[in-house]
Structure 1
Amino acid sequence: MSDNQNQLPNGVNGALEGQPNQGQPVGPLLMNLQYTKDLSFEVPGAPEIFTTLREQPRIDLALDVQARPLQEGANVYEVSLQIRADAQANINGASQTAFIAELVYCGIFTLNVQPDMVEPLLLVECPRLLFPFARNILADVTRDGGFPPVLLSPIDFVALWQSRRGQNSAAGAPVANA
Structure 2
Amino acid sequence: MSETNDAGQAAAPQVKMSVLAQFVRDMSFENVLAQKGLNGSEMQPDVQVQVSLDARKRGAEHQYEVINKFRVTSKNKATGDTLFLMELEYGGIFHVEGVPDDQMHPFLLIECPRLLFPFIRRIISDVTRDGGFPALNIDTVDYLALYRQELARRAQAQQPVQ
Using the size of structure 2 for normalisation, the TM-score is 0.81
Q: Do 2:33 and 2:40's aligned partners in 1 also have CA atoms closer than 8 Å? A: no
Q: Could you tell me how far 1:89 is from its partner in structure 2?
A: 1.5
> How do 1:130-141 and structure 2 match up within 5 A?
130-141=116-127
1:55 aligns with 2:40: no
Unaligned runs of 5+ in 2: 1-13
Distance 2:63 2:31 in 1: 37
Aligned residues: 144
1:108 aligns with 2:96: no
1:163 aligns with 2:143: no
Q: Do 1:53 and 1:89's aligned partners in 2 also have CA atoms closer than 8 Å? A: no
Distance 2:41 2:54 in 1: 35
> How do 1:25-174 and structure 2 match up within 5 A?
27-47=15-35, 48-49=37-38, 51-71=39-59, 74-90=61-77, 94-112=79-97, 113-172=99-158
Distance 1:108 1:89, change over 3 A: same
Identity of matched residues, %: 35
Q: Do 2:22 and 2:90's aligned partners in 1 also have CA atoms closer than 8 Å? A: yes
Q: Could you tell me how far 1:85 is from its partner in structure 2?
A: 0.7
Q: Deviations over 1:48-99 (max 9, x none)?
A: 23x244133111111111111122x832111011111111115xx6322111
- Over the aligned positions, Cα root-mean-square deviation in angstroms equals 2.0
Using the size of structure 1 for normalisation, the TM-score is 0.74
